[in-house]
Every structure is written in structure tokens, then in C-alpha cells.
């Protein structure tokens, strides 16, 4: 029996919302038609909408298994039913942490029961809670909610593009491609999924913070509230993202403070060194829980569980990889870091692709390998090139964020489909970083 989203009503609602969204986007385009970069706005948004629909169709028609995306939607529909059955129970469910007890208290045969494996994970059911707000004006349409998620993904990517479009250390087409037109990012992060909201929150966070730092934009109450909201989203869905974002950002701030203290190279490098030590201690402190010497670290146990779950759980389907990790101590994690980061950055290799989706990811990996090679050799003077990179706060943030998230992703994923999804937030950052070079006019001045 086919799910409800195949009904004529669902298709009509989805088509109606597609028209509404296109008109909305067209109005934005017309209002900014005088801005040259807005010629990419409509193509970029259609790119996201198209891949969002492709993601939905892939997991509901081609694979015929639905996966988590359908479970998120089903959970949201059940929450919608719960609202009409008991508004107080709905808001109680929205505010509380789900458990085996609460599902039987609040839900019943009339409302339906959320998928158990989604409800058992608070960070997963949080997605159902978010999109449950969309169900009230989409009549529970799976297609319409997918299109709304794609629009959110597209608008957040556009805000990030508006931040980076004026950077002179990259060619304009590279900046546009990295932020707006990476196929795997659009596929995995434009539909109903955790990754869509994680990427959108990350992009909005970076846009607001660096608009203030680099472009000196005024801090408004709206932006502050939006910033707090993005932090809340990341905390609720994947809290490690806050470490991956926060540590590089604090490092960039400390470098900026050092520059303002004076032009002394000694002072500058002393501040950088102290900053690096402090951030290292903070990260290690996050990894270390308050346990005695005879017990395992709680965070490391969690990482080990995640890694082993992806590795052994047969419910996770797809082509697997194995880094041969057996040591989950802090020293074991340090030893595994280089291989984990390389895996996150450059795999799957093209010969490891056993599906069309992984083949596209393999092609992107080839591009990254070429860019990495060029990064080290095209400048002719690596030391001067690194010296230039160190002056660009966005690039410093980008590579530190990519390394931290890359380690976590490569270390824990175990499946290439999971790897490709998890690394989506740093794809734009790493492409821009490896493609960056000192503008010719600055070289002449130097």
C-alpha cells in the first residue's frame, strides 16, 4: 500500500505550494534586479528545489523504503493529529524530551504513533517537531513540506553566498559553485532531513557573524535572535557542531584582538600560541568527562557507540568503509585523526562508488584533490601563500572548522552515504579554502 503522499490531494497541495514559492522567489528577484549577483538567485533556488524533490522521490519511489525522511514526516503528521485531538498534549510533546512513557500517554489510535526509532532519539524527533509547524498550512502534504525545506535550504545558502561573493581571493564562479551548486550538498540537504536544518543553521550563523566582523554591518535585534535560534537548532540536533564552529570562531576573534593590540610580530604570535593552547584545552575538556582513571571517557564511549552502530547495525544500508579503529582512548583518537580527516575530505574515491549518488560524490572528491594539489604548488612559494591565508579570517575559520568536523565525520560515519551527508556543512568552506590565492594586486603591492 502506497503512503499518503501519493494521493491526488497531496500532489495538488504540493503543486500549489510550488507555485506560491516560485512567485515568492520571483518577487525577491524582481526587487533586487538591479544587483548583478542576483542573476544567480533564481537558478540557485530552482537547483535546491529540484534536488529537494529528487531526494524525496528517491527515498519514496526509487528505493521504496522511505528512510528517515518519511519517518520525520510521519512523526510530524502524528503531532498535527495530536494537536487537533488535544492541544495541551501537543504543546507538552513539543516541550518535553520524548520517552517510552510519554508516547503512550500523549498518542493514541486516533492520532497515530510516531515511528519508534525516530521517537526514541530526541534529536531526530526534534525534526518532526519543527516540521509539524509546517503541517498546519500544508495540510500534511509531504511534497509541500519538502518544498518548504528546500526553500529554507536555498535561502540560507544564498545568504552565505552574499557574504562570500565579494572575496577577491577566489574567482567568482568558484565562490558561486562552492556555496550554491554542489550536487551532493543540494541532494542531501534540501529535503526533510536533519542535515537540511543543520546546514541552514550553520550557513545563517556564519553569515551573521562574519557580516558583522568583515563587513561591519550593524547588529540588529532580529539578527541576534536569529543567531540564538541557529545555536539552539544546532544544539538540539547535533551539538558537536557548536564545538566545531565555536573553537575556530574564538580563535579568529583572539587573532583579531592581537592585531589591534599592536603590530609587534612577537605579540601577535604569542597571542596566537596562547589561543591555540586554550582552544586545544577546551576541545579536550569537551572530550573528557569527569571520570576516574579506571573508567572510559563518557564522550569517547558515545563516539565509539556511534562508530560501532554505523559499522554493525544492519538497519543502516549502503556501502561501508572501515578505518580499522579499535582504540577509543584519547591517544587512539589522536592517532586516527589524519586518516579520519583524509577520509572525510576525499572519500569516497571514484572507484569506491557503487551508486549514482556516490559516483557524483567521487567526482567532487577528484575536484577537491585537484584543488588541494594546486593549493600547495600553484603559488610557487608555499610559505608566502600560508602567510596570506593566515591574514584572511574567513579562511582561517573555514579550515579549522573543516578539520574539526572532518575528524568527527570521518571517525564516526562508517557508511559512505552517512559520510557524504555529515560533511556537507564544510564542503563550501574547504572548496573555497583550497581554491584561494593571493590577488594579483596584493602581490604587486608586496
Chain segment 294-338, per-residue pLDDT in tens:
334 444 444 444 544 455 544 555 577 777 766 666 677 778 888
Question: Average pLDDT in the 331-350 region?
Answer: 86
pLDDT tens, position by position, 357-379: 889 999 999 999 999 988 887 76
pLDDT tens, position by position, 119-162: 988 999 999 999 999 999 999 999 999 999 999 999 999 999 99
pLDDT tens, position by position, 253-284: 877 776 676 566 666 666 667 666 666 665 55
Can you spell out the DSSP letters for 237-295? H-THHHHHHHHHHHHHHHHHHHHHH-S-HHHHHHHHHHHHHHHHHHHHHHH--S--TTS
Confidence of residue 61 (pLDDT cuts 50, 70, 90): confident
Q: What is the mean pLDDT of the chain?
A: 83
Confidence of residue 67 (pLDDT cuts 50, 70, 90): confident
The pLDDT of residue 332 = 72
Question: Average pLDDT in the 70-75 region?
Answer: 93
pLDDT tens, position by position, 376-400: 877 666 777 788 888 889 999 999 9
Question: Average pLDDT in the 420-427 region?
Answer: 93
Question: How many Cβ atoms sit within 10 Å of the Cβ of residue 290?
Answer: 6
Query: Is residue 358 within 8 Å of residue 352, measured between CB atoms?
Result: yes
- Kindly report the CA angle at 440 between 439 and 446, in degrees rounded to 5? 95
Q: Has residue 181 got a pLDDT over 80?
A: yes
Question: Average pLDDT in the 7-12 region?
Answer: 83
Amino acid at each position: 500500500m502506497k503512503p499518503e503522499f501519493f494521493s491526488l490531494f497531496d500532489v495538488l497541495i504540493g503543486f500549489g505550494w510550488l507555485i506560491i514559492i516560485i512567485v515568492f522567489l520571483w518577487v525577491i528577484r524582481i526587487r533586487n534586479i538591479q544587483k548583478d549577483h542576483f542573476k544567480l538567485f533564481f537558478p540557485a533556488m530552482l537547483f535546491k528545489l529540484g534536488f529537494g524533490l529528487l531526494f524525496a522521490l528517491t527515498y519514496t519511489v526509487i528505493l521504496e523504503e522511505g528512510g528517515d525522511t518519511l519517518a520525520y514526516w510521519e512523526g510530524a503528521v502524528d503531532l498535527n493529529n495530536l494537536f487537533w485531538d488535544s492541544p495541551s498534549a501537543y504543546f507538552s510533546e513539543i516541550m518535553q524530551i520524548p520517552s517510552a512513557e510519554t508516547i503512550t500517554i500523549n498518542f493514541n489510535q486516533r492520532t497515530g504513533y510516531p515511528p519508534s526509532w525516530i521517537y526514541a532519539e530526541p534529536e531526530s524527533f526534534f525534526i518532526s517537531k519543527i516540521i509539524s509547524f509546517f503541517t498546519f498550512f500544508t495540510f500534511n502534504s509531504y511534497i509541500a513540506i519538502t518544498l518548504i525545506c528546500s526553500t529554507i535550504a536555498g535561502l540560507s545558502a544564498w545568504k552565505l553566498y552574499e557574504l562570500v561573493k565579494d572575496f577577491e581571493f577566489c574567482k567568482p564562479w568558484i565562490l558561486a559553485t562552492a556555496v550554491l551548486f554542489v550536487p551532493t550538498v543540494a541532494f542531501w540537504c534540501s529535503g526533510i532531513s536533519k542535515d537540511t536544518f543543520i546546514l541552514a543553521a550553520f550557513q545563517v550563523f556564519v553569515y551573521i557573524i562574519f557580516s558583522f566582523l568583515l563587513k561591519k554591518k550593524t547588529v540588529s535585534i532580529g539578527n541576534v535572535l536569529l543567531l540564538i535560534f541557529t545555536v539552539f537548532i544546532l544544539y538540539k540536533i547535533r551539538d558537536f557542531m557548536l564545538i566545531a564552529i565555536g573553537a575556530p570562531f574564538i580563535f579568529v576573534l583572539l587573532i583579531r584582538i592581537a592585531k589591534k593590540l599592536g603590530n609587534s610580530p612577537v605579540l601577535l604570535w604569542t597571542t596566537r600560541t596562547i589561543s591555540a593552547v586554550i582552544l586545544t584545552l577546551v576541545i579536550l575538556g569537551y572530550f573528557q568527562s569527569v571520570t576516574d582513571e579506571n573508567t572510559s571517557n563518557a564522550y569517547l564511549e558515545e563516539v565509539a557507540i556511534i562508530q560501532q552502530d554505523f559499522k554493525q547495525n544492519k538497519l543502516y544500508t549502503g556501502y561501508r568503509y572501515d578505518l580499522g579503529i579499535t582504540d577509543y582512548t584519547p591517544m587512539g583518537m589522536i592517532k586516527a585523526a589524519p586518516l579520519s580527516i583524509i577520509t572525510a575530505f576525499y572519500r569516497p574515491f571514484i572507484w569506491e562508488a557503487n551508486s549514482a549518488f556516490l559516483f557524483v560524490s567521487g567526482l567532487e572528491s577528484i575536484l577537491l584533490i585537484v584543488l588541494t594539489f594546486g593549493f600547495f604548488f600553484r603559488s610557487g612559494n608555499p610559505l608566502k601563500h600560508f602567510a596570506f591565508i593566515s591574514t584572511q579570517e574567513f579562511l582561517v575559520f573555514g579550515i579549522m572548522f573543516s578539520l574539526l568536523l572532518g575528524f568527527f565525520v570521518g571517525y564516526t560515519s562508517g557508511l559512505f552515504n552517512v559520510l557524504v551527508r555529515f560533511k556537507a556543512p564544510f564542503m563550501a568552506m574547504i572548496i573555497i579554502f583550497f581554491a584561494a590565492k593571493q590577488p594579483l594586486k596584493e602581490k604587486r603591492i608586496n
